[in-house]
């Protein structure tokens, strides 16, 4: 990664298709946030199914991101990227025609698997094409902005297509857009892979997927209280995770090299992504619901806070490259997470007669922190791993984010729908829980980063 690109690489132009593909993944991701009341009613989805509708794509993303990054390093990043685009588009088409919650949820998981390939391999493609320095900072800043752009576009798409069923049309449009991006991706992305061939860790992949699926299932099952199935799922998840750790220590080519966890920048970036998903993303997923059901607003108004959050994050992601401070390591990540938590807390104290601007202001503040974080975390994800493992680093970082989102969405929905007598009461309690998670995560990242710095200082 420290050598000048070859002529074939230098003439490739992957930034546009990669950023558009990333934006489309986020459009697909946020689509059910605004349309969940209509979707659930049309499909006859109960409370548990509603939680799965919101978290199923997060689960697919988290389960497949790390494996997708490794497969890109092995089979070719463009090949895996394009396959993911096609899978995501076909799954969106299934969502558009689904008649049962189980079919819709299964298709959303597949959308997540396809989106995982796009996110993991897209960032690795940029790392391969743009060398460290100003070029990579520019590319990763644009990539980070595309995350916010996708959320903003998704927030607009749902109300703009509020015709007919009120939700199926949005999935049909994303299916068409996904297929439309395939040809530009093939033409403008140069194929790349790791220089040294390696094998896919099937045992590790299976155990990681099992651990995450069982864990999210335990959270969903526990919505109505802790019972035997909830405990059983939680125990099986813990056993699967322990087995995953043991396997990764023994295989020659692990899915996630345990040595990476000793790298302070890798730990900070991965932890920051998890906290971001578990906190603000989990909260944002519920905003359209509380706006429509609790405040009695329409779909356009309910989408406004998410649109403001995403729009601000786009701007701050692009401006992050002009910050004179290098924004590397645990300290800036922890500081930005505190800013995000401050935005979350601004939405506490919501009442049935509150203005929508109460939520908009809170999400704008959170969006400032999230936008810069998107740029920093994307850059740190590939800077903290060896060049040949760029796909793995990207996959690990995104896995943490969407595993956090799957847990955060489920937890926020559970608290918001069970705490207090009204959904507004539940919202206020859930906000406190979510903001506390963000602050605790920020403290943990700052503490481990300071410890690592102290050890390095002592060693010198």
Please say if the pLDDT value at position 116 is more than 60.
yes
Lowest mean pLDDT among 189-193, 266-270, 375-379: 375-379
Tokens of 77: 């990043």
- The predicted pLDDT at position 52 comes to 84
Selection from 426, 391, 394 nearest residue 290 by Cα: 426
Looking at mean pLDDT, say which of 252-256, 271-275, 453-457 comes out highest: 271-275
262-271 confidence digits (pLDDT tens): 788 888 888 9
Distance CA 169, CA 163 (A): 8
Lowest mean pLDDT among 24-38, 191-205, 299-313, 433-447: 191-205
Asked if 170 and 157 touch (Cβ cutoff 8 Å), the reply is yes
6-51 confidence digits (pLDDT tens): 444 545 688 889 999 999 998 998 888 878 888 888 998 887 788 7
- The predicted pLDDT at position 283 comes to 92
Mean pLDDT of 235-264: 84
What percent of the chain stands above pLDDT 90? 32
Please say if the pLDDT value at position 399 is more than 50.
yes
Mean pLDDT of 348-374: 92
Mean pLDDT of 45-62: 82
Mean pLDDT of 423-445: 94
327-357 confidence digits (pLDDT tens): 777 888 999 999 999 999 999 999 999 999 9
- The predicted pLDDT at position 200 comes to 74
| Structure letter (DSSP) for residue 131 | -
- The predicted pLDDT at position 164 comes to 62
Please say if the pLDDT value at position 454 is more than 70.
no
Please say if the pLDDT value at position 209 is more than 80.
yes
Mean pLDDT of 237-248: 90
Mean pLDDT of the chain: 84
- The predicted pLDDT at position 103 comes to 95
Distance CA 131, CA 245 (A): 33
Architecture (CATH level 2) of domain 8-200+255-459? Up-down Bundle (1.20)
Distance CA 450, CA 368 (A): 25
* Between 317 and 274, the higher pLDDT residue: 274
Asked if 170 and 299 touch (Cβ cutoff 8 Å), the reply is no
* Between 386 and 118, the higher pLDDT residue: 118
Lowest mean pLDDT among 92-101, 324-333, 346-355, 384-393: 384-393
- The predicted pLDDT at position 363 comes to 95
Helix axes 202-221, 228-250, angle to 10 degrees: 160
Please say if the pLDDT value at position 365 is more than 90.
yes
Please say if the pLDDT value at position 126 is more than 50.
yes
Selection from 54, 52, 125, 120 nearest residue 84 by Cα: 120
65-90 confidence digits (pLDDT tens): 878 887 888 888 899 999 999 999 99
pLDDT band at 95 (very low <50, low <70, confident <90, very high): very high
- The predicted pLDDT at position 197 comes to 61
- The predicted pLDDT at position 224 comes to 65
pTM over 0.95: no
pLDDT band at 5 (very low <50, low <70, confident <90, very high): very low
Distance CA 129, CA 454 (A): 35
Asked if 79 and 189 touch (Cβ cutoff 8 Å), the reply is no
Count of CA atoms in the C-beta half-sphere (13 A) of 229: 10
- The predicted pLDDT at position 324 comes to 63
- The predicted pLDDT at position 289 comes to 87
- The predicted pLDDT at position 34 comes to 77
Q: Concatenated DSSP letters for 330-370? A: HHHHHHHHHHHHHHHHHTTT--TT--THHHHHHHHHHHHHH
- The predicted pLDDT at position 193 comes to 80
């Amino acid at each position: 990664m420290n050598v000048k690109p070859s002529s074939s690489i230098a003439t490739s132009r992957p930034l546009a298709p990669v950023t558009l593909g990333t934006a489309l993944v986020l459009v697909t991701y946020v689509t059910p946030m605004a349309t969940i009341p209509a979707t659930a009613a049309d499909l006859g989805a109960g409370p548990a199914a509603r939680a799965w509708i919101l978290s199923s794509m997060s689960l697919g993303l988290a389960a497949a991101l790390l494996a997708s990054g490794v497969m890109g390093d092995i089979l070719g990043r463009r090949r895996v990227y394009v396959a993911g685009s096609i899978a995501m588009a076909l799954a969106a088409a299934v969502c558009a025609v689904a008649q049962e919650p189980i079919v819709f949820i299964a298709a959303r998981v597949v959308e997540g698997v396809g989106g995982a390939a796009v996110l993991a391999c897209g960032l690795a493609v940029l790392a391969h094409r743009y060398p460290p320095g100003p070029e990579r900072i520019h590319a990763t800043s644009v990539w980070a902005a595309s995350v916010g752009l996708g959320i903003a576009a998704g927030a607009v798409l749902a109300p703009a297509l509020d015709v007919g069923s009120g939700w199926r049309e949005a999935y049909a449009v994303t299916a068409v857009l996904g297929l439309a991006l395939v040809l530009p991706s093939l033409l403008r992305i140069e194929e790349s892979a790791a220089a040294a061939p390696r094998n896919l860790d099937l045992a590790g992949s299976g155990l990681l997927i099992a651990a995450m699926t069982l864990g999210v299932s335990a959270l969903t099952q526990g919505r109505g209280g802790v019972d035997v199935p909830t405990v059983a799922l939680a125990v099986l998840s813990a056993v699967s995770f322990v087995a995953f750790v043991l396997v990764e220590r023994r295989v020659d080519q692990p899915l996630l090299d345990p040595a990476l966890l000793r790298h302070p920048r890798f730990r900070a970036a991965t932890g920051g992504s998890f906290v971001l998903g578990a906190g603000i993303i989990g909260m944002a997923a519920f905003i359209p619901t509380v706006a429509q059901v609790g405040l009695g607003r329409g779909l356009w108004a309910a989408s406004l806070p998410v649109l403001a959050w995403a729009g601000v994050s786009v701007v701050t992601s692009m401006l992050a490259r002009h910050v004179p401070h290098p924004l590397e390591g645990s300290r800036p990540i922890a500081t930005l997470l505190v800013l995000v938590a401050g935005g979350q807390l601004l939405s506490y104290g919501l009442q049935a007669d509150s203005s929508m601007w109460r939520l908009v202001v809170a999400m704008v503040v959170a969006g400032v922190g999230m936008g810069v974080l998107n740029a920093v975390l994307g850059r740190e994800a590939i800077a903290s791993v060896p060049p040949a493992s760029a796909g793995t680093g990207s996959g690990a970082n995104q896995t943490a984010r969407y595993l956090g989102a799957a847990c955060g969405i489920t937890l926020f929905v559970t608290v918001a729908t069970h705490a207090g007598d009204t959904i507004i009461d539940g919202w206020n309690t859930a906000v406190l829980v979510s903001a506390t998670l963000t602050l605790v995560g920020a403290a943990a990242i700052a503490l481990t980063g300071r410890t690592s710095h102290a050890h390095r200082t002592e060693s010198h």
